[in-house]
Structure 1
Amino acid sequence: MNQDPPRRLRYAMVGGGTGAFIGAVHRHAIALDGLAELTAGALSATPEKAIASGRALGLAEAHNHGSWQALLEAELARAPDERVDAVVIVTPTDSHFPIALAFAAAGFNVVCDKPLVHTGAQAEQLVAAVAASGAVFGVTYNYTGYPMVRQAREMVRSGVLGAVRKVVVEYNQGWLATALEGTGNKQAGWRTDPARSGIAGALGDIGSHAENLVSTVTGLAIAELVADLGRMVPGRALDDDASMLLRFAGGAHGVLIASQVNAGKENDLRLRVSGERGTLEWRQEEPNRLVHYRHDGPTEILTRGSPWLCEAARRAVRLPSGHPEGFIEAFANVYRGVFADIRARSAGVVVDPLEADYPRVGDGARGVRFIECAVASSASRSWQRFEPDQPAG
């Protein structure tokens, strides 16, 4: 007997209206697999722009709202089986906490951009709300969605390299090498504003990605760190350059660099993990290749789509080998994991971990505490213990 295919999930978006780069990225990524459709939204902090953006995207008037509060109220007024299945938050960081907390506490599944919130205390409150509601909560550390990142994770964690000794992660950009925030650039304006970005600039924007990439691939816990945060562009209120040394539980050492003043650099995220028996290297600008340097054998270049990759990497591939996949597809892989978890929980079944492969609210909370610890270290010019489950003092 033929069964009808499952309906597409419904999602609402907060932020991401006309002219917002990241909102369009999220929508394109979600659309890639056809698993969910945008049915509601509050697409800007300005009510008039929010309504106009929703109309441009074809939202029905009854589902097109001028504020996130109106969106929440309208969804709660609907019958449970008519509500959206998830709420996607793509606003600047300063509004993440109230929006995410309100929807999660009300039992809605949430996907939120990073950094998750401004403070460790907020992160702790949000984690508790998610646990109490039982909602799915994903954080879009999108680089974890690349197939070759998942391949690296499997190789490191299965012991291919032996015990990890050294981890080096760099995220180099040059877009803030000048005082772009003074030219009216909207993205630069809020990224360099402490009221909107919180206590960190480049550290929060891209350093959080670097920390998450290290944690995802290696599984190692940072035990302590010493950080040096700089403001290279005169008059800038937040760091635009961050360098730090890491010590991991178990004895491995690491280096993390996150800079947005490397003139000429575009989006140069790179990771190197060295163990007793070899080294892995991956670059975001060449994401379909993973290089394996062996201590006692020839160097191996692993490519996306190859049949000998691990299952997690194979599942993250949509095109045959040799056809490049990239940024949008990595985002889509994160969303595919979130949606698999939502469907499983709604059906009351245990989800396959390989299907529900996505960063969770706990990952986002750890990232916030990492930022706080690094800022405290730089201010005190000293090593700081990193307690991933506790806000920094």
Structure 2
Amino acid sequence: MKPQRRLRLGMVGGGEGAFIGAVHRLAARMDDRYELVAGAFSSSLENCQRTGAALWLDPARCYASYQKMAAQEADGIDVVAIVTPNFLHAPVATAFLQAGIHVICDKPLCLNAQQASQLAAVVKQSQCQFILTHNYSAYPLIREARQRVLSGELGEIRFVEVEYLQDWMSELVEQTDNKQASWRGEPAKAGAGCIGDVGTHAWQLASFVSGMLPQSLSAELATVVAGRALDDDVRVTLRYANGARGRLWASQVASGHENSLRLRIYGSEASLEFQQENPNQLWIRPRNAPAYCLTRGSGVLSDEVRTMGRVPAGHPEGYLEGFGQIYREAADQIWAAIDGQPFSGSLLPGIDDGVAGMKFIDAVRHSSMADGKWVDFSAA
């Protein structure tokens, strides 16, 4: 049944000069399922008011305090998008969940595993929906890759290889006027460096497509650029319960790489490869047959995946549409909750995925501090 209206959306963060807030706003508008009606876009009231004016919002619904917004918008908005630096994710989410408002939160979940467990308890008590925007997991061909792995097409999984390479922090950009880098260079605001910023994307994507979490890991965190307070390169070796092995490499100092997220999964019968910079292609390499490339327009894709596309075959589709798909599916999930209807089969990352991601970061840290000692992930 088609909803009778758009979901009323609020936003915390994403004010003038921010990057990811605009991405979330575009994603929310893509399928016309949301209407942005309120925001605490910045702790600066002037910034908040300017941002609200640019977005045609009522000035009375533009707040310099997220606490005031949560209190006053309990009956005014259905869902809030949290697009702040990491240290605010948990307190902002808690305020809105306790007000009975559903949450769409940017990744990573929060600062550490302890805070993640506390937030998970709040989510459970609130009975609200909580969606974490690991947008790459909503690419059509990533969904196709997951289906093919879980259907057994690759056979028994033997190796999982994932890397996320960038070079934008190859210098001390956090000490310049780069707003995106400045808070990422502060431990109290970011919580983690490269491992939290892009490493959690690689981690979530590998887990989502393979359907597996490792039993143990050995890791090395490095700070390559002198004077940096947090890690900018991480390498992790993974062991899985079925005997499979894995490797994760995330770096923000890998010269020549812009946004190189690549996933390879090898099974006993075939392997697959996906590269985010070519998101409309998925390579399948059978063991005793020629390799072939699936495109977003391939007629052999599953029905569910084919319906995810927003533009005709052969036209590029990727980053923004991935966010759009997250928001589209979140709208279905939230409306079901509002109507008191059961909702099953969601592939959206949620609070459990966020908690697992924070446990992964903690396990990586523990291993690295112990010179790469193997750490039992289940006990992280």
TM range (shorter): over 0.9
C-alpha distance in 2 between matches for 1:154 and 1:303: 15
Identity %: 46
Matched residue, 2:202: 210
The equivalent position to 1:254 in structure 2, one of 237, 246, 249, is 246
- Partner secondary structure for residue 287 of structure 1: coil
Q: Deviations over 1:59-112 (max 9, x none)?
A: 112211111011112113x4xxxx211000000001111111111122210011
Query: Taking structure 1 as reference, are residues 312 and 378 closer, same or farther at Cα in structure 2, changes over 3 Å only?
Result: farther
Q: Deviations over 1:25-68 (max 9, x none)?
A: 00011111001010110001222211221121111122111110
| Contact persistence 1:338–1:357 (CA under 8 A) | no
Please give the residue correspondences for 1:1-393 in structure 2 after superposition, counting only pairs within 5 Å.
6-76=4-74, 78=75, 83-198=76-191, 200-351=192-343, 353=345, 356-381=346-371, 382-387=373-378, 392=380
| Contact persistence 1:42–1:51 (CA under 8 A) | no
Task: Tell me how far 1:352 sits from its aligned partner.
Answer: 5.0
Q: Which runs of 5+ in 2 are unaligned?
A: none
Q: Deviations over 1:253-275 (max 9, x none)?
A: 00000000011210000000000
Could you tell me which amino acid in structure 2 is paired with residue 290 of structure 1? L
C-alpha distance in 1 between matches for 2:4 and 2:315: 30
Task: Tell me how far 1:143 sits from its aligned partner.
Answer: 0.3
| Contact persistence 1:171–1:257 (CA under 8 A) | yes
Task: Tell me how far 1:4 sits from its aligned partner.
Answer: 8.1
Greater Cα shift, 176-185 or 144-153: 176-185
Task: Tell me how far 1:307 sits from its aligned partner.
Answer: 2.6
| Contact persistence 1:103–1:110 (CA under 8 A) | yes
* TM superposition score normalised by structure 2: 0.97
Task: Tell me how far 1:351 sits from its aligned partner.
Answer: 2.6
C-alpha distance in 2 between matches for 1:234 and 1:311: 50
| Contact persistence 2:18–2:179 (CA under 8 A) | no
Task: Tell me how far 1:350 sits from its aligned partner.
Answer: 2.2
- Partner secondary structure for residue 253 of structure 2: coil
Greater Cα shift, 48-57 or 325-334: 48-57
| Contact persistence 2:97–2:128 (CA under 8 A) | yes
Q: Which runs of 5+ in 1 are unaligned?
A: none
| Contact persistence 1:103–1:109 (CA under 8 A) | yes
* TM superposition score normalised by structure 1: 0.94
Could you tell me which amino acid in structure 2 is paired with residue 259 of structure 1? S
Could you tell me which amino acid in structure 1 is paired with residue 339 of structure 2? A
- Partner secondary structure for residue 286 of structure 1: coil
Could you tell me which amino acid in structure 2 is paired with residue 357 of structure 1? L
| Contact persistence 2:19–2:180 (CA under 8 A) | no
Q: Deviations over 1:352-372 (max 9, x none)?
A: 52xx43111110111011001
Task: Tell me how far 1:319 sits from its aligned partner.
Answer: 1.6
Q: Deviations over 1:141-173 (max 9, x none)?
A: 010110000000000011000110000000000
Number of aligned residues: 379
